[in-house]
Structure 1
Amino acid sequence: MRRLLFQLPMLLLGLISTAQVKKDAVNAKKIAINWQIIENSHAGGGQFLSSLNVQNNDPLALSNKNWKLYFNFARRIVPGTTTGNVEIVHVNGDLYYIRPTEKFKPIHNGTSATTEFASKDWAVNATDAPEGFYLIYDDAPKQAIPIKNVKAIPSTRATQFARNKQDRVPAITPQLIYEQNKNSIDIPEKDLQKVFPSPAQYTEKAGEFILDQGVKFSADPAFKAEGTFLQEKLNRVLSPGKGTQSGKTIQLNLDKSLGAEAYQLEINSKQIRITASAKAGVFYGIQSLLSTFPLQKKGHKVAAIKLQNASVTDQPRFPFRGLMIDVARNFQTKEEILKVLDLMSMYKLNVLHFHLNDDEGWRLEIQDLPELTAVGSRRGHFSDTTLSHLPPSFGSGPFLNEHHGTGHYSKADFIEILKYANARHIRVIPEIEAPGHARAAVRSMHARYNRLMKEGKPEEAKRYLLHDLNDRSIYRSVQNWNDNVMDVSIPSTYNFIEKISDEIIAMYKTASAPLQTIHFGGDEVPDGAWEGSPNSLKFVKEHPELKDVNGLWAYFYGNIDRILKSRNLYLSGWEEVGMQPVVADGKKSYVINPALGDKNIRLNVWNNIIGWGAEDLAYRLANTGYKVILGGVSNLYFDMAYQKSFDEPGYYWGEYADIDKAFNFIPFNSFLNSNVDKFGNALKPGFYDSKERLTAKGKANIVGLQGLLWSETIKGGKDLEYMIMPKLLGLAERAWATDPEWANEPDSIKRKEMYDKAWARFANRLGKKELPRIDAAFGELNYRLPPAGAIVKDGQVHLNNQFPGITVRYTTDQTVPTAKSPVYTKPITTKGLIRFRTFDSQGRGGRSTSIVNEVEWNVTPKELP
């Protein structure tokens, strides 16, 4: 089964856990907490109502005083809506605590207490639930008591699933899944194209090449490392021995007339020849060759392999084919990142965008600034104002050693990651989020300031300070922080930017890895920041051209651009870097800043949410002159839930996004398949008429595509793998291959027919080739196995699957299907509850679902007993 929906912190050793728990404290194992959605569209809309029930099964009572129950919750709780004689107090970010009022009745053994409260927006799935519960007694503030028995009660009513009155997206059922898959075509494996992502030209030829250890190998000196890579791959699948293939060769040849990432692959009965002008090209040719190998289990070797003769001429559509991994919100181990790099390299993705800091964590060692990791990389409960670490977030719990909330990469770790990526022709773009989303850095540098002030070094203490100590600005970020923005008016902020940049540059140099840019964030700086900072207000007064604090935005990124250009780097940032705030009639809005266009600034554009009004923002920025990487939330945010289901993990604020959202995305015409808004409502005719299309200049400025995984909901490697796979394969296809034929068909009916056939080929390729290839390459990678669809028709249960080739097993005795359960091959006639489940080639199962095959009655429903 895939990961549990809730992973509450275990009682790990940490600073706060060393103290003995109070003798009169309730036993945490005897406390149970249940959360449930009551209704969305509560109190007129814009909020939802939920309940929290605390049950005590311990002989000791939970009294009416002297305790606080801490938890993390992504939604803003509406003040004044709490019932049950308790108060819910917001600490900062997503951290809250519950405390009893004087009217609270103690929770005695065998009893429970319930509080209801309203929160902003809506809740649909278990990911929305509060998490990370722990109890703190007032007279023992350093003794945290984690509560692990926490459940989210599944929703069953429409008012629990509908986000608002406009929501038309149905909660997923086996019947809906069956309907989605009903036009699926089962294509024989022999008829599927051998190379993936789809090459520019592929021609299959008669005959075979027999590959064994007797085949001679040669490589141009320029391709020595790539030749070693191929030989290592061959040694993993071929049995040792001399072999029998006298005179047959594998050649890696240099041809400088080809493009930088282009290659030619020729397989005939006498030789395999890969030709390229650069190392990246020959590496991609090797990956294409490996993709033609027949499937075999990881660790299993054979004496010889038969390869179909073929000719491939290929090159990528876009030079930027990326994946963004956020390790700041929740940490990922070095080993998991190396695994992701291997996965990316299989599918010719060439950029890892590494989101290394945010409000909830700083993950890269900077040796001269030890507080960044000593403070900024650790999360846990704190009972005073000492800046020793950050508070719990995203359910990371009270203890400092919980590895999702706490962790960082040492300098050696980061250099190893860079070397590993470089060997696979993957550039690593480091992101240092600024000036918003910067709380971990701001608090860390405040801790450094305090330390050096105590040491009597005031000038050194101020050198890298990131905020005005007298700032009284009032704001709340999207994630509910009130102190997460760098002050961009003070010189020490730029000292920090330069210091971090130089340390990163040095690491890349040590790793002999290419560094072309540093990404400096730029998203979601909340309104109100800097307005109460004496330094900012003074600076604006001294620079009247800025007009007000809103002018600090363009000033900041103008400075960052100059800092990077002086180091022969270009600036990358989120779309907001290319925007500037303007105030009209007392209202703030954002418009494109033409002053930074045509300066080789790269923007990751995320906002393409249908109905928000920025559906064409990426195109407008590209037309203005910005280099644009497309990564719209509606298609390429991999942390979005696959489907609308209570137990399907992930967010959905942008849209529910299965793999088809990446597959049907057309980079130069993103409007083509966007026919409904985020709530499932059909768009009115002419909806896109006023939207800007790409000009010739704009098309030249679209440099690539990127999938993105934000990690608020990601608690370890298995979660990461579940959310990015198999969506990553849809991204790989669109980033590498040219537009499919159906994208250029003007007739909508013909286009739909062509799309269905293309999707069938793609789905068959995944189910029969790519997912088994991944099983063979990794042994176990926790990609999402889609739940099977089911309907009852003529008294029989019919099952289908999103990816033909994946095994579906079922049971009729109400037990959860296992790898030994019967395989579905024909409709099931057994009556009663039928449970079914998809399995990968290793026997790993996905989520179990069910349907009831009822006995058919020859009576109308009103006559039933």
Structure 2
Amino acid sequence: MDSSSLSGASETPLSPSPLIPAPVAVRPAEGALRLDADTALAAAAGTEGVARWLRTTLGAATGWPLLPDGPGPVVRLELDSQLAAEAHRLTVDESGVRLVGGSAAGVFWAAQTLRQLLGPVAHRRAPLPGAQTDPLPHGSIEDEPRFGWRGFMLDVSRHFMPKDGVLRYIDLLAAHKLNVLHLHLTDDQGWRVEIKRYPRLTEVGGWRPGTRVGHRASGLWDERRHGGCYTQDDIREIVAYAAERHITVVPEIEVPGHSQAAIAAYPELGNTDAVDTGALDVWTDWGISANVLAPTDEVLHFYENVLTEILELFPGEFVHLGGDECPKEQWQASQTAKQRIVDLDLADEEELQTWFIRHFDRWLAERGRRLIGWDEILSGGGLATDGRGLGPGAAVTSWRGYAGGVAAARSGRDVVICPEQHVYLDHRQAAGEDEPVPIGFVRTLRDVYEFEPLPPELAGTDAEGRVLGAQANLWTEVAESRQRVDYQAFPRLAAFAEVVWSGREHRSWPDFEGRMVRGHYARLDAMGIDYRPPGGPRPWQQRPGVLGRPIDGVPPIV
């Protein structure tokens, strides 16, 4: 759909339940339609999965059977090859509803729009006695996303989220038309995915003996053993569940830093000539562990075997390999690492890290996949074009601001924008003392809504097209439960969803705030999300006495 053809479209709301994300164009007409238990559902070839989702989800909320030959109004699912893949058109008239998309994904997003138009009751899991869905005003909605990568990173390493919680979050992403779930599966504090060749990764690396409560300034400890992992069948289920909702799952396996859990399981992965790796346990603290992978052929081969199994589980194009926050002290003390630098004719440990990441960049490319990593992968000559840098297929998640993304895009590499200063949802939502375990910057709902994914330096240049999109990241050091994750994610994730879906010309903070109040908070309630209310945390959402960061005398993250 060419949005330029939509100029002059009415901004009049189509429904008492305002839409989030805001659509490109709304064209109201006279009249209204009410769907009921007699509503039929007709699915054209290629839209069968969307029909299955509607019968399962909308059918559960309303009790409607949604049979293909019902006597009432008809909801028709159709494809139109003239539309872009995720573009769609929803039309309501006296005969029923037409959901038309450029692909099954487009039809699915149209189905999410229909669900919102039907009101909060359509977001429940069982019918409410006597409750009715909202009538659908006649008219049409034309819509398409601004970006192709509309992501959410969920850290399940620091605090494990059982599989059912991950499936629930996939549904919450789908309800907001987000289409990438980046799963942070490994870190110093836990390894969460079964690797059959190396069972100790989860048997040992999946469990830590205790956990600091609060951030690094806190003196409180939870002495209970914490852990858990996803079996390979769990992962297959998660990936399939997401695919039915047109969401891609991107796995993250951290190298060469943030690897203490793996080293605790297999001590030979560490720098054994610099530290007694056999004495290591899975880390119980937060921050950046000094224990990193050794730059040896044996370690490379170990992770090739790990990634072989990962590729079998995750069919998507990208595999995230971290590459961030890798301390170099152990390499500086290791004779093995020093000799590797000499043998490879490298300048220093920074170039040694680039060599490590580049190995897997090429390994993945040979298998038809693409490496993506945090913006530190650009250090140590990562952008070099003389064969010592990353390949053209490598992509960057730019988290330390825009600079890494700008550099990557200008070098011809793809980038996902996710600066901690704007879209780290583990950061505090207000400056008040009631915020639970306050971390990092204050980022209000409005701050997230006003985030601009496209770096201004790239706007209007040839490199602009290298910005795949953006994602919001939620690290879980102090989000120990699904309830806490809900609090940190919502309602800010709804604001982020509009940022990455709706073009700047279709966004307005006062309008968004009004739509939240008039309709979307009620949807969040219906979905059972323990979000932060506009007036501040509820009593059970507070964590008095648990220190975060920054605190008095401790500088903020920069």
TM-score range, shorter chain: 0.7 to 0.9
The aligned residue for residue 363 of structure 2 is 563
- Which shows bigger deviation, 295-304 or 419-428? 295-304
Shift in alpha-carbon separation, 1:190–1:288, aligned structure 2, 3 A = closer
CA separation of 1:242 and 1:321: change in aligned 2, threshold 3 A: closer
2:288 and 2:469 map into 1 onto residues whose CA distance is: 33
Equivalent residue number for residue 433 of structure 1 = 254
Could you say which residue in structure 1 is the equivalent of 2:76? Answer: 251
Q: Please tell me whether residue 759 in structure 1 is matched to residue 552 in structure 2.
A: no
Kept in 2, the 8 Å contact 1:324–1:706? The answer is yes
Q: Are the aligned partners of 2:257 and 2:324 in contact in 1 as well (CA < 8 Å)? A: yes
Alpha-carbon separation, structure 2, partners of 1:506 and 1:577: 25
**Residue 317 of structure 1: SS of its match in structure 2?**
coil
8 A Cα contact 1:360 1:393, kept in partner? no
Q: Distance in 2 between matches of 1:597 and 1:532?
A: 26
Residue matched to 1:362:
191
The residue matched to 1:531 in structure 2 has which SS?
A: helix
> Do the aligned residues in 2 keep the contact of 1:380 with 1:396 (CA within 8 Å)?
no
Report the AA paired with residue 440 of structure 1. A
Matched, 1:501 2:307: yes
The alpha-carbon deviation at position 515 of structure 1 amounts to 1.7
Equivalent residue of 1:211, what SS?
coil
Return the alpha-carbon distance in structure 1 between the equivalents of residues 542 and 66 of structure 2.
46
TM-score scaled by structure 1? Answer: 0.56
Measure how far apart 1:480 and its partner are: 5.8
CA distance in 2, matches of 1:318, 1:482: 35
Q: Give the conservation status (yes or no) of the 8 Å contact 1:634–1:661.
A: no
Matched, 1:231 2:50: no
The structure where strand makes up a greater share of residues is: 1
How is 1:156-305 mapped onto 2 (pairs within 5 angstroms)? 194-239=18-63, 246=71, 248-296=73-121, 298=124, 299=126, 300=128, 302=131, 305=134
For 1:280 and 1:496, the matched residues in 2 are separated by 37
Q: Contact 2:160–2:227 at 8 Å: present in 1 too?
A: yes
Gaps of 5+ in 1: 1-187, 382-390, 447-464, 509-513, 582-590, 609-614, 671-691, 743-757, 789-836, 839-843, 849-865
Question: Which of 491, 513, 535 is residue 787 of structure 1 equivalent to?
Answer: 535
Quickly say closer, same or farther: Cα 1:334–1:195, change in 2 above 3 A. Answer: same
**CA deviation after TM superposition for structure 1 residue 559, in Å:** 0.6
Contact 2:195/2:309 (CA < 8 Å) preserved in 1? yes
Partner deviation per Cα, 1:644-696 (whole Å, 9 max, x = no partner)? 1223124443x2111112111122256xxxxxxxxxxxxxxxxxxxxx55462
Q: List per-residue Cα deviations over 1:839-858 (Å, max 9, x = no partner).
A: xxxxx98779xxxxxxxxxx
Query: Aligned equivalents of 2:169 and 2:355: distance in 1?
Result: 37
Question: Is it true that 1:629 corresponds to 2:408 in the alignment?
Answer: no
User: Residues 599 and 626 from structure 1, CA distance in 2 versus in 1: closer, same or farther, beyond 3 angstroms?
Assistant: same
Q: Is the CA contact 1:323–1:353 (under 8 Å) kept in the aligned structure 2?
A: yes
The separation in 1 between residues aligned to 2:411 and 2:303, in whole angstroms, is 27
| Matched letter for residue 353 of structure 2 | W
Separation in 2 of the partners of 1:528 and 1:241? 63
Superposed counterparts of 1:66-215, under 5 Å = 194-215=18-39
Post-superposition offset of 1:483: 4.1
The question of 1:709 aligning with 2:474 is answered: yes
For 1:539-578, list aligned pairs within 5 A. Answer: 539-544=340-345, 546-578=346-378
Distance in structure 2 (CA, Å) of the matches to 1:732 and 1:242: 29
Residues 241 and 278 of structure 1, relative CA distance in 2, 3 Å threshold: closer
| Alignment equivalent of 2:430, drawn from 619, 626, 643 | 643
Output the amino acid matched with 1:657.
R
Q: How far apart, CA to CA, are the structure 2 residues paired with 1:720 and 1:482?
A: 24
Whether contact under 8 Å (2:271, 2:292) holds in the other structure is no
Given candidates 666, 678, 699, the residue that maps to 2:452 is 666
Give the SS at the match of 1:308.
strand
- State the distance in 1 between where 2:342 and 2:403 align: 36
Amino acid aligned to 1:730: A
Counterpart CA distance in 1 for 2:384 and 2:176 is 36
| Counterpart among 139, 152, 164 of residue 323 in structure 1 | 152
The structure having more radius of gyration, on CA atoms, is 1
Q: Which amino acid aligns with 2:444?
A: D
State how far apart, in whole Å, the 2-side matches of 1:606 and 1:304 are.
41
Q: Distance in 1 between matches of 2:174 and 2:55?
A: 16
SS of equivalent residue, structure 1 residue 339: helix
Which residue type is aligned with residue 335 of structure 2? P
Distance 2:505 2:327 in 1: 41
Q: Does the C-alpha gap of structure 1 residues 845 and 440 become closer, same or farther in structure 2, counting only changes over 3 Å? A: closer
Question: Is 1:769 aligned to 2:534, yes or no?
Answer: no
Q: What amino acid is aligned across from residue 393 of structure 2 in structure 1?
A: N
Query: Secondary structure in 2 aligned to 1:703?
Result: strand
Q: CA deviation at 1:210?
A: 2.1
Flag the 1:359–1:392 CA change in 2: closer, same or farther, 3 A. Answer: same
- After TM superposition, give the deviation of residue 364 of structure 1 in Å: 0.8
Residue equivalent to 1:348 = 177
Higher relative contact order (CA 8 A, sep 6+): 2
| Corresponding residue for residue 745 of structure 1 | none
Query: Would you say 1:413 and 2:206 are equivalent positions?
Result: no
What SS does structure 2 have at the residue aligned with 1:417? helix
Indicate the SS of the match to 1:432.
strand
> 1:521 & 1:288 partners in 2: Cα distance?
35
> Is the contact between residue 14 and residue 137 of structure 2 (CA under 8 Å) also seen in structure 1?
no
CA contact (8 A) 1:199 1:315 kept: yes
Q: Counterpart of 1:629 in 2: which secondary structure?
A: strand
In structure 2, what is the equivalent of residue 517 of structure 1?
A: 318
Distance of 1:265 and 1:320 partners within structure 2: 23
Change (3 A) 1:606 1:650: farther
Instruction: Indicate how the Cα distance of structure 1 residues 190 and 704 shifts in structure 2: closer, same or farther if over 3 A, else same.
Output: closer
2:340 & 2:363 partners in 1: Cα distance? Answer: 20
State the shift of 1:252 in Å: 0.6
CA gap 1:233/1:393 in 2 versus in 1, 3 angstroms: closer
Given that 2:445 and 2:491 are in contact with CA atoms closer than 8 Å, whether structure 1 keeps it comes out as yes
Match in the other structure for 1:730: 495
Output one character per residue of 1:593-633: Cα deviation in whole Å (capped at 9) or x when no partner. Answer: 4564671211111112xxxxxx5442232222221111111
How far is 1:547 from its partner?
2.9
Cα deviation per residue 1:217-274 (whole Å; 9 max; x = unaligned)?
Answer: 2111211111121123332343568999856321111211211111111111112111
* Cα gap change, 1:491 to 1:305, in 2 (>3 Å): same
Scaled by the length of structure 2, the TM-score of the pair is: 0.85
- Shift in CA distance, 303/502, structure 1 to aligned 2, threshold 3 Å: same
Deviation at 1:497, TM superposition (A): 1.7
RMSD: 3.1
In structure 2, distance between residues paired with 1:368 and 1:515: 22
1:484 match: 291
Letter in 2 for 1:344: L
Aligned residue type for 1:547: A
> Unaligned 5+ residue runs, structure 2?
1-11, 215-219, 278-282, 544-558
- After superposition, give the CA deviation of every residue in 1:148-169 in whole Å (9 maximum; x if it has no partner): xxxxxxxxxxxxxxxxxxxxxx
Contact 1:473 1:528 (8 Å CA) reproduced:
no
- 8 Å CA contact 2:17, 2:118 repeated in 1: no
Offset of residue 706 of structure 1: 0.3
2:442 aligned to 645, 652, 656, which one? 656
1:472 CA drift (Å): 5.1
1:852 aligned residue: none
Cα deviations across residues 276-305 of structure 1 (Å, max 9, x unaligned)? 231111100100111111333833154675
The percent of aligned pairs where both chains have the same amino acid is 28
- Is 1:725–1:784's contact at 8 Å kept on the other side of the alignment? yes
The superposition leaves residues 402-438 of structure 1 with CA deviations (integer Å, 9 ceiling, x where unpaired) of xxx3111122222221111111111000000110111
1:586-605 counterparts in 2 under 5 A?
Answer: 593=384, 596=389, 599-605=392-398
Aligned to 2:400: 607
Q: Which SS does the other structure have where 2:332 is aligned?
A: coil
